[in-house]
Amino acid sequence: GFGLLGARYDHRQLLLAATSLMVATGVAFALVHDYALLLVIAFAGTINPSAGSVSVFVPLEHAVLTREVTDAARTKMFARYSLVGALAGAVGALASATPDLLAPSGLDQLTGIKAMFVLYALLGLLGGLFYARIPRRRPTSDTGTASALGPSRNIVLKLAALFSLDAFAGGFVVQSLLALWLFEKFDLSLSEAGFFFFWSGVLSAFSFPVAAWLSRHIGLINTMVFTHIPSSLALMLAALAPTLLLTLALLLVRAALSQMDVP
């Protein structure tokens, strides 16, 4: 929805609205105790449910960044953008072990998790301060929007259908469900899961510049196809793997390949 609004409204205002939602969600998770209400907050307020490349911020930030670079430099710019974001996400995954690390000091796990939601809200405020520095942009007129895609319309629609299918499939492997599966099947602790998802995020992060380099040699479409196939195979084998070590190894292989279509 935010991506569609980006053509009509100032990107700065939409990004500030998204950070406001982020702050409100973090505060609500920290303060609300009713389970049913928490489910409503999780459904309506979660910025990025998959912890992957789909987020409210991504299409808006892409639109802002593309105004600042040439077409030739766009793939490299997206790779750098994705690299920084994925590294930050990896550090966030590592920080999820904080409640376990604070347990010896007498702080119970629930209080530690609530404190992390407060930190999440504070990071939203910090992000809002950065977004507030983006220059205002005059909204685009509605004139000619019907033919804005021009001769590329059919290609864009086909890619949109492909990405929709990819996102639908990816929805079955969101990080929260993957973590729950590891907890239930292998009895992984919160700190161990955080350590695993940290390295998973690091591998994903450094796959972005590799993808940019690879696309210059074999093309964008080939890069997407030839990395998605082994990534999907690794995921299927991980579900069947009998041991924790083999499962984590296959999931790390998937992490190194699955996001190479993003830049």
Predicted local confidence at residue 147, as pLDDT = 52
DSSP string, 37-101: HHHHHHHHH-S-TTSSS--SHHHHHHHHHHTTS-STTHHHHHHHHHHHHHHHHHHHHHHTTHHHH
Residue 208, domain extent: 2-133+153-257
Residue with tokens 């802002």: 64
pLDDT at 123 over 80: yes
Q: pLDDT higher for 36 or 96?
A: 36
Q: pLDDT higher for 167 or 39?
A: 39
pTM reported for the whole predicted model: 0.69
pLDDT at 197 over 70: yes
Alpha-carbon gap, residue 17 to 13, rounded angstroms: 6
Angle at CA of residue 112, ends 40 and 185, nearest 5°? 75
Closest CA to 128 of 228, 21, 218: 21
Instruction: Compute, in degrees rounded to 10, the torsion defined by CA atoms 80, 85, 86, 87.
Output: 90
**Structural domain contains residue 246:** yes
Closest CA to 49 of 132, 139, 171: 171
**Structural domain contains residue 263:** no
**Structural domain contains residue 189:** yes
**Structural domain contains residue 145:** no
Closest CA to 199 of 235, 251, 242: 251
Report DSSP state, residue 202: H
The pLDDT confidence band at residue 5, using thresholds 50, 70 and 90, is: low
pLDDT at 11 over 90: no
**Structural domain contains residue 144:** no
pLDDT at 109 over 90: no
Per-residue pLDDT reduced to its tens digit, 24-58: 999 999 999 998 998 888 887 766 554 555 567 88
Tell me what the mean pLDDT of segment 53-76 comes to.
78
Report DSSP state, residue 243: S
Alpha-carbon gap, residue 66 to 137, rounded angstroms: 14
Alpha-carbon gap, residue 87 to 67, rounded angstroms: 24
Predicted local confidence at residue 168, as pLDDT = 73
**Structural domain contains residue 35:** yes
The total number of structural domains in the chain stands at: 1
**Structural domain contains residue 160:** yes
Closest CA to 239 of 177, 194, 189: 177
Predicted local confidence at residue 7, as pLDDT = 58
Residue 42, H or E segment: helix 35-45
Per-residue pLDDT reduced to its tens digit, 214-256: 888 888 778 877 888 888 899 899 999 999 999 999 999 998 8
**Greatest pairwise CA separation for the chain in angstroms:** 64
Predicted local confidence at residue 143, as pLDDT = 47
100 in Cβ contact with 113 (< 8 Å): no
**Structural domain contains residue 148:** no
Predicted local confidence at residue 20, as pLDDT = 92
Predicted local confidence at residue 246, as pLDDT = 96
**What's the chain's average pLDDT?**
81
Question: 1-10, 182-191, 252-261: which range is least confident on average?
Answer: 1-10
